[in-house]
């Protein structure tokens, strides 16, 4: 079987020749060790600086070549997300005017301040005057707003990935969900659900309209599924109560899921945190698979299968905490344990609870691949 076939068998709760493997995303340090050179793929600091400096084509060429080479070299992933191969910037991109304040701080032309986070290898916006003190109204989300299509060149690297690997691997694209917006950031956004529910519902309605309008372009020829991304949980509970989620978010989730499925796509959702109370609604909406089983938020693979059985495919089982802080022996044991559950229960894609994150020791990554290769087959 190839990866394409394994995923379809798993999504139908059948038994493939081995458990399928996939990574939500792989960061640059791991990609560079595998391909033996620097890359812009998931190097968020270098990429942002290159885009600010007008070197968009240089970034895209790196994404095209490096991501394909990475997945060919490790040759074990059955499902690939678009995230490493999506730049989102068109060929005619005009970068904003930015100035470097010091070695770790940049400011753009409207006053947003960005600080380098070495730990996560990214720029973090620490000050945004465009949102400071902003009061949202229904007028901010007009229902008749025209939705403009994206420039086709933003898909250049992803289309190349599909062309090179789409015949053998199950490739996931993405499309907007926007079912649980946090207007003005998390703190203000949660307050808006209580103080201004009609405004939140207007924002969600506009998100649904935009997502539906763009699906025909976002869903690329050759891809097999769409990944929605929306973090809906904390380490203890869902961010919104199940009752609020059903009132505000569920209708949008169901409409967007069914619209994507009308294009013949399988629908995956990525959400960090504890989301036990929401999973029945994911299933009711038509979600096929759930990714990001955050171990320290109680998303235990075996317990999830006990409760949801063959109603939802789960993608995870390897704790990111062990990948980052454990030893290769710890990683190997985690892989074996997860594979044992997957073989016994079915309907599971093996992968990290989040990603192959920046800072994962290379020896741990290689231990994951080696142990998986030894034990993933049924026969």
> If you average pLDDT over residues 5-30, what whole number do you get?
97
The helix or strand, by DSSP H or E, that contains position 202, with its residue range, turns out to be helix 197-218
**pLDDT value at residue 131:** 85
pLDDT score recorded for residue 137: 97
- Whether residue 132 has pLDDT greater than 90: no
Mean pLDDT calculated for residue range 178-195: 95
Asked whether the beta carbons of 20 and 12 are under 8 A apart, the reply is no
Is residue 133 scored above 90 in pLDDT?
A: no
The mean pLDDT of 108-135, rounded to a whole number, is 92
Cα separation, 38 vs 70, whole angstroms: 12
- Domain segments of the chain: what residues? 3-93+134-375
Q: Average of pLDDT values for 267-290?
A: 97
Beta strands 348-352; 225-229: pairing state: unpaired
pLDDT at 195: 97
DSSP-derived secondary structure letter, 151: P
Q: Phi first, then psi: give them for residue 115, nearest 5 degrees.
A: -115, 145
pLDDT for 334 beyond 90: yes
Q: How far is CA 335 from CA 129, 199, 211, 318, in A?
A: 46, 45, 37, 6
| Residue showing tokens 């539906």 | 212
What one-character-per-residue DSSP string does 45-56 give? HHHHHHHHTT-H
Torsion over CA: 69, 377, 374, 353 (sign): positive
Q: pLDDT tens digit string along 224-250?
A: 999 999 999 999 999 999 999 999 999
Is the per-residue pLDDT at 302 higher than 90? yes
In the chain, % of residues over pLDDT 90: 96
| Residues forming a β-bridge with 344 | none
Q: Can you tell me the distance from the alpha carbon of 10 to that of 18, in angstroms, rounded to the nearest whole number?
A: 10
| Predicted confidence band of residue 32 (pLDDT cuts 50, 70, 90) | very high
Average pLDDT score over residue span 24-28: 96
Calculate what percentage of the chain has a pLDDT beyond 70.
100
What are the angstrom distances between the C-alpha of 252 and each of 180, 201, 256, 349? 9, 10, 6, 26
The Cα–Cα gap between 379 and 376 comes to 9
The pTM (predicted TM-score) of the whole model is 0.96
Q: What is the CATH number of domain 3-93+134-375?
A: 3.20.20.210
3-state secondary structure of 122: strand
Reduce the DSSP state of residue 116 to 3 states and report it.
strand
What are the phi and psi torsion angles at 91 (to 5°)?
Answer: -65, -35
**What pLDDT does 180 receive?**
96
Going by C-beta distance under 8 Å and a sequence separation of 6 or more, which residues neighbour residue 233? 239, 271, 272, 273, 274, 275, 278, 294, 297
In this prediction, residue 136 has a pLDDT band, given cuts at 50, 70 and 90, of very high
Strand partners of residue 99: 107
Q: HSE on the CB side for 232, CA within 13 Å?
A: 31
Helix (H, G, I), strand (E, B) or coil at 285: helix
What is the per-residue pLDDT for 194? 97
Q: Is it the case that residue 263 has pLDDT exceeding 90?
A: yes
Q: How far is 190 from 170, CA to CA, in rounded Å? A: 36
Given a contact cutoff of 8 angstroms between Cβ atoms, the answer to whether 105 and 113 are in contact is: yes
Q: How confident is the model at residue 211 (pLDDT cuts 50, 70, 90)?
A: very high
Burial 317-337 (b: 16+ CB within 10 A, else e): bbbbbbbbebebebbbebbee
Give per-residue pLDDT as tens, 144-168: 999 999 999 999 999 999 999 999 9
Higher-confidence position of 132 and 299:
299
Q: What is the dihedral of CA 5, 351, 74, 82, to 10 degrees?
A: 70
Stretch 185-207: mean pLDDT, rounded?
Answer: 96
Residue 309 has pLDDT above 90, yes or no: yes
Mean pLDDT over the full length of the chain:
96
CA-CA distances (angstroms) from residue 265 to 198, 211, 213, 250, 268? Answer: 32, 15, 16, 20, 10
For residue 71, pLDDT beyond 90: yes
């Amino acid at each position: 079987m190839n990866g394409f076939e394994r995923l379809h068998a798993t999504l139908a709760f059948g038994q493939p020749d081995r458990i399928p493997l996939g990574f939500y995303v792989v960061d640059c340090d791991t990609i560079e060790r595998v391909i033996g050179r620097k890359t812009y793929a998931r190097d968020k600091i270098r990429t942002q600086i290159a885009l600010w400096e007008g070197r968009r084509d240089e970034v895209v060429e790196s994404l095209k070549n490096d991501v394909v080479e990475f997945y060919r070299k490790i040759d074990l992933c059955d499902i690939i997300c678009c995230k490493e191969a999506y730049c989102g910037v068109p060929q005619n991109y005009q970068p904003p005017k930015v100035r470097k304040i010091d070695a770790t701080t940049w400011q753009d032309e409207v006053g947003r301040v960005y600080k380098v986070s070495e730990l996560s290898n990214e720029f973090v916006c620490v000050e945004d005057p465009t949102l400071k003190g902003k009061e949202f109204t229904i007028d901010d989300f007009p229902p008749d707003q025209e939705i403009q299509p994206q420039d086709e060149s933003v898909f250049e690297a992803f289309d190349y990935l599909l062309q090179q690997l789409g015949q053998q691997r199950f490739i996931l694209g993405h499309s907007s969900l926007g079912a649980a917006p946090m207007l003005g950031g998390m703190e203000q956004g949660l307050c808006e659900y209580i103080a201004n529910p009609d405004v939140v519902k207007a924002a969600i309605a506009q998100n649904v309209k935009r997502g539906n309008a763009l699906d025909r372009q976002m869903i690329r020829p050759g891809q097999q599924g769409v990944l929605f991304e929306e973090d809906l949980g904390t380490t203890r509970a869902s961010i919104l109560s199940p009752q609020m989620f059903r009132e505000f978010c569920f209708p949008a989730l169901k409409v967007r899921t069914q619209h994507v499925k009308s294009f013949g796509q399988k629908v995956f959702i990525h959400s960090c945190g504890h989301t036990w109370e929401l999973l029945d609604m994911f299933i009711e909406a038509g979600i096929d698979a759930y990714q990001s089983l955050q171990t320290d938020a109680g998303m235990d693979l075996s317990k999830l299968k006990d409760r949801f059985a063959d109603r939802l495919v789960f993608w995870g089982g390897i704790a990111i905490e062990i990948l980052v802080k454990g030893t290769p022996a710890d990683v190997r044991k985690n892989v074996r344990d997860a594979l044992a559950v997957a073989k016994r229960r079915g309907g599971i894609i093996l992968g990290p609870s989040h990603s192959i994150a920046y800072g994962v020791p290379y020896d741990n990554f290689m231990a994951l691949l080696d142990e998986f290769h030894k034990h993933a087959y049924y026969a």
